[in-house]
Amino acid sequence: ADKLFTPLTVGAVTLANRVAMAPLTRLRNIEPGDVPGPLAKEYYRQRASAGLIVAEGTHISPTAKGYAGAPGIYSEEQVRAWSEVTAAVHQAGGKIALQLWHTGRISHRSLQPNGDAPVGPSAIQADSRTNIRAADGSLVREQCDTPRALETEEIADILEDYRRATDNARRAGFDLVEIHGAHGYLLDQFLSPAANVRTDQYGGSVENRARFLLEAVDAVVAEWDADHVGIRISPLGIFNGVSNTDQLEMALYLAEQLAKRKLAFLHISEPDWAGGPKLDDTFRAELRKRYPGVIIGAGGYTAEKAETLIKQGYIDAAAFGRSYISNPDLVERLKQNAPLNPPQAETFYGGDAHGYTDYPTLQQQA
């Protein structure tokens, strides 16, 4: 029988099934204010049959913003708007986590307070582009600006931003928080010698480069508790220019260190969805040996791949990204082995209801 549709306890929360909705940036939030838009409530409510929804990357402070149209969780107005989203998901019987995001150098001065340079571990520009707002209000792709290297003393301020964002997420009714430690954003930038050439205690050795990510975990756990905190990492990932030589050593070190914290879950974004290497069974076995807790796997999975990895014990649940964009009732479709609506990439980012809340369920298509 399919394990994918059996319950799973994830820290303080019990999920009805092991199909998660991956955090998906959709850039449809209101500016100024970076407040979830009126459609967000409907969009997340439609997908409430997921065992767990991980809501989109949400920046923990104004400086943490890296994309026009991304939401925040640092103001009362944002907390109020998110409260309506979580209430709608809970009313529909769902569970929802918020992804706490600091984009670091994947940002642009037009998105930063006072037009300042974005911040990062070192003043090394990412060979990446982001989405900024054009004069006519549309989203345009633009090269990320060269970041300013954070002073050692500033790290404590960002840890406070993670703490406050966690308190805000809890007050907004989220069941869990997920720290975004993946995909070449701030915490992942610190892990990589390609972005981090610091000479203080946050640069150099694997332990030093992992320090900030682990301090952020400890700050969030101290604010709530380990049963309400997960983290997403992208071992061996290359997205946003963070590939480097010692990624395997770093990935296994992080697994050991994160296991000690007994978190609700570890969310692994597999590198091959963004051009990185395919994870092999050797890596999966090494990871599982170091991390006995709940692992959520993600990265272009089919239901069959998810089921196989769960049966092998390498993951405990599977997160689906693009499939959830175009299939609000994904769980029902996977259960019935029904055809999936293909996602329309041209409406992934920005825009309105089209490509956001207007994908049909199986019933609506019948």
Ligand X SMILES: C=C(C(=O)O)c1ccccc1
Say how far apart CA 271 and CA 248 lie, in whole Å: 12
Beta carbon of residue 131, minimum distance to ligand X (angstroms, whole number): 7
Say how far apart CA 131 and CA 138 lie, in whole Å: 10
Beta carbon of residue 22, minimum distance to ligand X (angstroms, whole number): 9
Nearer to ligand X, 204 or 277 (CB): 277
**324 HSE (CA, 13 A, CB side):** 31
Instruction: Identify whether 359 is a catalytic site residue.
Output: no
**Beta strand segments in 184-281, E:** 229-233, 265-269
Nearest alpha-carbon partner for 234 in 286, 283, 298:
298
Beta carbon of residue 25, minimum distance to ligand X (angstroms, whole number): 4
Q: Is 183 in the site for ligand X (CB under 6 A)?
A: yes
> Residue 113: what are its φ and ψ, rounded to 5°?
-55, 135
- Measured over the CA atoms of residue 97, residue 102, residue 106 and residue 110, the dihedral's sign is positive
Beta carbon of residue 133, minimum distance to ligand X (angstroms, whole number): 15
Say how far apart CA 163 and CA 305 lie, in whole Å: 36
Residues in contact with ligand X, counted by CB under 6 A, come to a total of 5
- The encoded tokens of residue 332 equal 């029902």
Which x/- pattern over 117-146 shows residues binding ligand X (rule: CB under 6 A)? ------------------------------
Nearer to ligand X, 25 or 112 (CB): 25
Which x/- pattern over 60-89 shows residues binding ligand X (rule: CB under 6 A)? -------x----------------------
Q: Which of 67, 185, 291, 301 is catalytic?
A: 185
Nearer to ligand X, 104 or 328 (CB): 104
Q: Is 57 in the site for ligand X (CB under 6 A)?
A: yes
Judge contact between 20 and 306, C-beta under 8 A. Answer: no
Beta carbon of residue 292, minimum distance to ligand X (angstroms, whole number): 26
Judge contact between 144 and 108, C-beta under 8 A. Answer: yes
Nearer to ligand X, 127 or 200 (CB): 127
Nearer to ligand X, 25 or 166 (CB): 25
Residue 1 neighbours by CB distance under 10 Å: 5
Q: Annotated catalytic sites, by residue? A: 185
Residues that bind ligand X in the complex, under the rule CB under 6 A: 25, 57, 67, 182-183
